[in-house]
Structure 1
């Protein structure tokens, strides 16, 4: 399988051209931020392909609203949201709803607050091409929607009541965002799974491509973060996490969590963080963990793979116990 960094290296001139063409055609992109730490924006900005970054900067004339990077502020900035018809609407962060919706206000125009939930519904109804949820908070609710969820936070699709393009992750990988935006900007929707995730990025279990997978198959488990071996005993959630981190890598294609000695915490998981917590702790009740509500979203092939994982894990653990005796 060709790594995403290789794909970007091969096709970055075309992707840069897509952004340049979008700017020439006057494609309007609006980026809303809800309950988030702006981590996905920072991740995108710190992508390691300068020509792509320059292309995004060229598109800035048509990024009509982005709270973190836009120059206008106050009423001047917020007033755009009342008149614009976006081609692409990007949302970062979860959305407080119902009686708690006032917990996130986008801005104020004429002394009247623009509440994120209302603004999202209004803009999504007018968006011509695609609504893209960037990061786990926007895609699935993420940390703000974790128990006890004091603001009744929801994902973008949870607010809109329909499937959107979901790019989970805490944060989302810059490649995932750039490649998806390049696709939707030219009107080509990526192939999505049942949860709205592009299958090109979220079609494989991290466990299957993990650089430590050989240790798992051999039944060699790390008991400390500095140990050589599979990190399952230290709470690795790779077996239930769909993401191509192992082949794509982070930080310019240099490394990824398990290769650096840290267990995967499942940050792209649809029930992150609640159902993959506590971090760095092995989940003993593996069958219960794998058959939780999210399990229904997996395909039959992945389901079979998880069942095989549970069985093989049990065999490996029994073998290790015998060796220790």
Structure 2
């Protein structure tokens, strides 16, 4: 049996957050609970290989060359197997003039900064799996919006959407601004189970996102969706009703945050009064601005549902009052009036 057939006993996670980003995805993942990242690293999740995490925020090293050592070893082909996690947009270093857009460590021989692109070129082909965490890494995000001077893009735009890792896997995209913590850890855990030989590859959609996480829209899991059906819309951000008219893109955005919550099942943008601005989508942010304006089509859809919704709301109100009334046979009088009449009664 090959090593791939019998599974891996040990995996390194090389996490580079030197893309154009705010490190928000790293911070977000520290709140994960299904499972917590510390449980994965500590070996408390049954069936997983031993995991060595190399992340600048979560690293126990003092930084510098001590922290860079496993990355340099992997670039030389001396460390493996490893999962490469990229956080942040990938800039186009072909248009950087005489400088560079972003870097990660220096070249030991010249002392010059090594660009993120330099690392991706050397690490991605050798990685057992390549994962883009957060919308910046998956599709470019904020830094790739119209008018940016850096030519930023997502990892799949840089490597090619048909890229395959040494483990035979396509890029795995887990979008979010920042990523929902449990979405990422659940995906990473699935990959680790696959690495151990105990699970198939995670199912991905055409945009390389985990299908089970991004197969439904915000609207389908939203606490406020019932108000939309009843044509009952919020006029301001203090209302608990559907927020389509005040800027929510939930009906057309693929995201599970309203259903999953943010931490411990609590939170999620529309659940706590925030509109959905489409931060998990490839067209973010350009196609969703201005964020506080009603989305195109929102006016038509809300107008069409309003007469139907008003009628349904009225009928449900009548039924609600009916079922809020106790049956008349519940009384303390001497006669039984419930309709109970057994056949054997004389």
Q: TM-score range by the shorter chain?
A: 0.7 to 0.9
Whichever of the two has the greater Rg, that structure is 2
Which residue pairs with 1:231 in the alignment?
243
Which residue pairs with 2:101 in the alignment?
103
Which residue pairs with 1:292 in the alignment?
none
Structure 2 unaligned spans of 5+: 1-6, 44-49, 75-79, 163-170, 195-199, 311-346
Which residue pairs with 1:73 in the alignment?
63
- The alpha carbon displacement at 1:162 in A equals 2.5
Which residue pairs with 2:11 in the alignment?
27
Which residue pairs with 2:131 in the alignment?
132
TM-score by length of 2: 0.73
Aligned residues: 274
- The alpha carbon displacement at 1:86 in A equals 4.5
Q: Does 1:271 align with 2:256?
A: no
Q: Kindly provide the CA deviation profile for residues 282-321 of structure 1, in whole angstroms up to 9, marking residues without a partner as x.
A: 12x32xxxxxxxxxxxxxxxxxxxxxx9874341357799
C-alpha RMSD over aligned residues: 2.5
Which residue pairs with 1:148 in the alignment?
147
Native 8 Å contact 1:79 1:109 kept in 2: no
Native 8 Å contact 1:236 1:264 kept in 2: yes
| Structure 1 residues 218 and 64, CA gap change in structure 2 (3 angstroms) | closer
Secondary structure of the residue aligned to 1:102 is coil
- The alpha carbon displacement at 1:54 in A equals 3.1
- The alpha carbon displacement at 1:78 in A equals 2.8
Query: Post-superposition, which runs of at least 4 consecutive aligned residues in structure 1 deviate over 6 A?
Result: 318-321
The residue correspondences of 1:278-289 to structure 2 (distance < 5 A) are 278-283=290-295, 285-286=296-297
Q: Does 1:92 align with 2:87?
A: yes
**Equivalent position to 2:36, from 28, 32, 52:** 52
Secondary structure of the residue aligned to 1:148 is coil
Identify the structure with the greater helix proportion: 1
**Equivalent position to 2:27, from 34, 42, 59:** 42
- What is the CA–CA distance in structure 1 between the aligned matches of 2:221 and 2:31, rounded to whole Å? 25
Which residue pairs with 1:116 in the alignment?
116
Structure 1 unaligned spans of 5+: 1-20, 287-308
Native 8 Å contact 1:132 1:166 kept in 2: yes
- What is the CA–CA distance in structure 1 between the aligned matches of 2:68 and 2:209, rounded to whole Å? 30
Native 8 Å contact 2:278 2:288 kept in 1: yes
Native 8 Å contact 2:33 2:182 kept in 1: no
| Structure 1 residues 139 and 233, CA gap change in structure 2 (3 angstroms) | same
- What is the CA–CA distance in structure 2 between the aligned matches of 1:158 and 1:86, rounded to whole Å? 24
- What is the CA–CA distance in structure 2 between the aligned matches of 1:191 and 1:311, rounded to whole Å? 35
